[in-house]
A and B are shown apart, each in its own frame.
Chain A
């Protein structure tokens, strides 16, 4: 029995100890969420570090990297193109509605071009890849964990992080900027078709304003953001799958957590990244 629950010599309850217990419980309650957040970031950072270390250590399994690039990139192409086309068209629609108030519809090419390059393309591509490839990674790794396939890899002296996580993380980092560029091109096509064909915006003005206001740095910003999103979404997905314990239900929950964590990490990181980029490269005026 602890001193906290003991009574003093007069037989009365030990009040200071009771108070200390309550304070300790309050402190634990306050510290617990901080611990959770720190351990969450810590464990993800360790997984990222180990997977990066695996990149520079033999054996080098090129086939696994190519397979993952095919899965993350080529496999996501149809959905990226579909979403890209309609996102570009909707952006153009909204931009024209707003610009029409000032009779400045000619700026639609510039508006859509910049917003696609810096924001819409990397963020939407990240969200689409999270939903499609990130969930797939979490499910596959989770299933491998519960069926002891990951243990089996270890018994063959194969580092499971190097074998399973490294190719997925690297493939996502490499494919995200490429898919973002595809999104840009298809999105601009959507915006162009909507503006020129349906809204009869002047073609020359559309292209003139687009080429004047958009810079290569907009695309560099977009591609860099996409690569960073590739890190966050792939690590979040692999972490959830790799650490599944239990059965099929836990695999499902891990997949859900992977999609939520991947999406949230993209949107939060986006805010900080755009701040950093705007300090480095202020908007053209």
Chain B
């Protein structure tokens, strides 16, 4: 099938693949996206995304700038509605959900933003505790216990005076970890990371990678990471999907993806220096 033109209207409905029963909780796949289209004015950003997110694993979505990675992430989170297509989460198509249903669904999710998106008017404790304060009637002692537990598990407890610090007083790595703590505090099933290593130096990048890996193992969450950092991707990914021109062009375990001969993927991998050009040999 030829890719649709920018001004071509997306199909009204896209069925599941033959033989698929998406309306049933699948033990392996937690999120299943089928035929997702999104247009902004004349720009056809998502052109029929088909994507499976593996339960309890670290799923990475790679792609160049402007390919629609963040738009896809916002669809997974329910921040944007698609023009066409389906998003199945644990056997439920969430696209027709109303605001209330979507608010309930979002309790399954935690999101770590590119630059952490910490609330400037709140200190570290207030930031981390925010989802708990908004959703439950817990005592201050209960909240503090959970906040301190997370600070300890994310290696933030030793930072002097961390609890009372405000976001501008934190380093880039600390901000990411506080953002992760805030996303984890309500024990989500699915954790979304929007380009978590952007703007970090190599050592901080490695630390954030380890943090993502450890979080997935320790908390047993399904992680979805949007990234264009190939080194990080192959370091932490259990499953890698590549988004190119609004479509997923390849998806699978890192070894399989690395063997792919697709020109867009080869160019991406080779430019990153992860493998030597042409040869396919790991650098």
Contacts and interface: CB of A to CB of B under 8 A. Distances in A.
Q: Could you say which interface size class chain B belongs to?
A: 20 to 34
B117 interface: yes
Contacts of A156: 106, 130-131, 134-135
Contact of A151 (B117, B130, B131): B117
Interface string A141-152: 001100111011
A157 B79 contact: no
Nearest to A155: B111
A216 interface: no
B120 A148 contact: no
Interface in B14-62: none
B131 A148 contact: no
Contacts of B97: none
B79 A154 contact: yes
A7 interface: no
Given A155-B111, A157-B106, A59 B134 contact: yes
Contacts of B120: 143-144, 147, 149
Given A157-B103, A157-B106, A157-B107, A148 B113 contact: yes
Contacts of A22: none
B114 interface: yes
Contacts of A158: 134
A152 B119 contact: yes
Interface string A114-153: 0000000000000000000000000000011001110110
B234 interface: no
A158 B79 CA distance: 12
Nearest to A61: B134
B115 interface: yes
B38 to A, nearest CB: 16
Contacts of B115: 147-148
A250 B119 CA distance: 20
A247 to B, nearest CB: 12
B77 interface: yes
B193 interface: no
Contact of B111 (A59, A143, A149, A152): A152
A151 B114 contact: no
B88 interface: no
Contact of A157 (B74, B118, B119, B135): B135
Given A156-B106, A157-B135, A149 B130 contact: no
Interface string B166-184: 0000000000000000000
Contact of B117 (A59, A152, A157): A152
Contacts of B111: 152, 155
Interface string B74-92: 1001010000000000000
Given A143-B120, A158-B134, A152 B113 contact: yes
B41 to A, nearest CB: 13
Contacts of A152: 111, 113, 117, 119
Contacts of A151: 74, 79, 113, 117
A143 B115 CA distance: 13
Contacts of B74: 151
Contacts of B119: 144, 149, 152
Given A147-B115, A148-B114, A148-B117, A155 B135 contact: no
Contacts of A144: 119-120
B13 to A, nearest CB: 27
Interface in A64-100: none
A155 B134 contact: no
Contacts of A149: 117-120
A137 B109 CA distance: 30
Nearest to A67: B121
Contacts of B130: 156
Interface of A: 59, 143-144, 147-149, 151-152, 154-158
28 contacts: A59-B134, A143-B120, A144-B119, A147-B117, A147-B120, A148-B113, A148-B115, A148-B117, A149-B117, A149-B118, A149-B119, A151-B79, A151-B117, A152-B111, A152-B113, A152-B117, A152-B119, A154-B79, A154-B106, A155-B77, A155-B106, A155-B111, A156-B106, A156-B134, A156-B135, A157-B103, A157-B107, A158-B134
Given A148-B117, A152-B117, A157-B135, 9 more contacts: A148-B113, A149-B118, A154-B106, A156-B106, A156-B130, A157-B104, A157-B106, A157-B107, A158-B134
Q: Nearest 4 A-B pairs (CB), nearest first?
A: A157-B103, A148-B117, A152-B117, A155-B111
